Amino acid sequence: MKKLVLLFAVLLYGTANLSAIPRPEYPRPQFERTQWVNLNGDWTYSFDFSGSGMERELYKSTGFDQKIVVPFCPESELSGVGYKDFIPHFWYQRTVSVPQDWAGKKILLNFGAVYYKAEIYIDGTLAGRHFGGTSSFSVDITHLVKAGSRHNLVVYVQSDVRSMQQPAGKQNLQYESYACNYTRTTGIWQTVWMEAVHPEGLQSVQVITDIDQKQIVIRPRFYKELGGKLEVSLLDNGKVVAKQTVTANTHSSVVLPVKNMKTWSPESPFLYDVEYKVYNKQGVVVDQVKTYVGMRKVHIEGNKIYLNNQPFYQRLVLDQGFYPDGIWTAPSDEALRKDIELSMQAGFNGARLHQKVFEERFYYWADKIGYLTWGEASSWGMDCNDPIVARNFLTEWAEIVERDRNHPSLLIWTPTNEQFWPDRVQYPRFMEDLYKITKMIDPTRPFHGASGGTHIATDIWTIHDYEQDPSKLKERLYNGGKLAATPMWEIQLMPKNIGYNGLKYTDQYNFPGYNKDMPYLVDEFGGIKWNPSQQMESAQNTSWGYGEPPRSLEEFYARLEGQVNNVLSLSSDIWGYCYTQLTDVEQEQNGIYYYDRTPKFDMKRIHAIFSKDPENK
């Protein structure tokens, strides 16, 4: 009987600490409501390799023969499936119970992320469709469900990762993982949950922190505007320090003065709590949302990036966000936090979140702990010169920016990585569109169009260089008093006459060169391979890294420190770096930690190297 009661509570209320539910925490900590149901756990599933599932009407299924644990992808061990080959079509099924007290509410079915195309069916009826493997989305199922009733939920997933028509990130396009490409992720890979919202409820907010005027500007959006009120309260450790009430419509902006302002920074990651209350015409509270905000500003002056009006040197690490048992999905909320803590223990003050859109809980911990991040999409694997691909990517990218723009830890937007083979028409158009759309959705952050690639429209200049010899690395970066526009290995791949956005040119290669009016960062370098068993032939054949590996630990430390010191020595021109990488990932063994997150090195020595800044190099 006890088990039945526990199961019923889980189905109805999604309570946070019940071990029966994997990833039980609320998945959207910057927009949290109390009435929600966590749908993680056991679902049934079916492979559909031939794509005949629609003809067989699998969308009407009330249960498949096999079980999978959501939110872990079928390729992962945590899903209970562990199927590593390509999965072009996949079907999920489970029943959902709508609580009786949700009557009269808008019922939303939320997905953290589903790779790549998803169709949602309730009792055999199409409820919604979504394109994009890394952005969050909601489906309004109010008209298809009834409070107090159980309904059948089916999710149909399609993915053709080798088509060049969808972004793949570091998912391997071959059967087996190789080099810096890893196990694929198909289907549901973030939390699924139901939520009850009043029809006049708050749909979203954009929060702009203005530290110069010591104020917060909030732009709300509502599901319906029926003449109610929105009350916003700002709290400092539980004490209300500002409050404002406005008409509940999208024309209203809430301006909160922040007296005795406390700023957010890695050194002092202070967060204010924020409470939103929506009142109807009768003065009754119909919606409540809790969130937080960090007062911080990022901007560019000359060739430096500023944080809170002070030049801030970024010592970043490349974080791929892969896990041995969950692949793209962290096994627990604590694992997300641990990755940040491991990075900080190694001496980094932030991370470039590489070729993957990290879940919101990661940003939450970065906000709480004081850890800088760059937001990036999984652009590898797509043909960015194809207008249809560009159209799909622009939609997904817009959703990504809107979801994450209120996180104080996120400093830079980076939609693509190493795009250096573009054509002369569609690629510039694509980059210009990305720049404009990003600035329209979020004008508060620098835009970094193509990390280490062909820069068309960008606010910062970046370069990738994996030269292993520290002295040669410095020469390549700064030779004859000039900063390198791009590594030599990229020059051979670049077409001529590319260059937009007022970027300067170099005479020799006729492609855009570095403009000293913008920051220049080495946002990939290092990648020093270290595998203690690398002398064994089997290890040499199965592991991968950049260049010739060191022959001893002391040689490793000397090479690493030499590379970092030489980059730091150019700080008058180079304003930050990103080291590759935080952990080993499968066969790529150039991490500071092993894939299981255990340390490879003497972490005191590692911290002493990466905690240096230009003033104490």
Do the Cβ atoms of 459 and 448 come closer than 8 Å?
Answer: yes
User: For 131-160, what is the mean pLDDT?
Assistant: 97
Do the Cβ atoms of 449 and 436 come closer than 8 Å?
Answer: no
What does pTM read for this prediction?
0.92
Tokens 């109805």 sit on residue: 12
Tokens 């109610």 sit on residue: 228
Could you give the 3-state DSSP secondary structure of residue 194? strand
CA-wise closest residue to 518 among 462, 570, 459, 477: 459
Quote the pLDDT of residue 495.
46
Q: Confidence class of residue 138 from pLDDT cuts 50, 70 and 90?
A: very high
DSSP assignment, residue 346? T
pLDDT at 444 over 90: yes
pLDDT at 617 over 90: no
Residues in contact with 52: Cβ distance below 8 Å, sequence separation at least 6, in sequence order: none
- 245: tokens are 């009430």
- 123: tokens are 């009792």
pLDDT at 5 over 50: no
Alpha carbons 177 and 174: distance in angstroms, whole number: 7
Average pLDDT for the chain: 91
Alpha carbons 98 and 145: distance in angstroms, whole number: 8
Residues in contact with 15: Cβ distance below 8 Å, sequence separation at least 6, in sequence order: 9, 24
| pLDDT, tens digit, 9 for 90 and up, residues 172-199 | 999 999 999 999 999 999 999 999 999 9
**Largest Cα–Cα separation, the chain:** 79
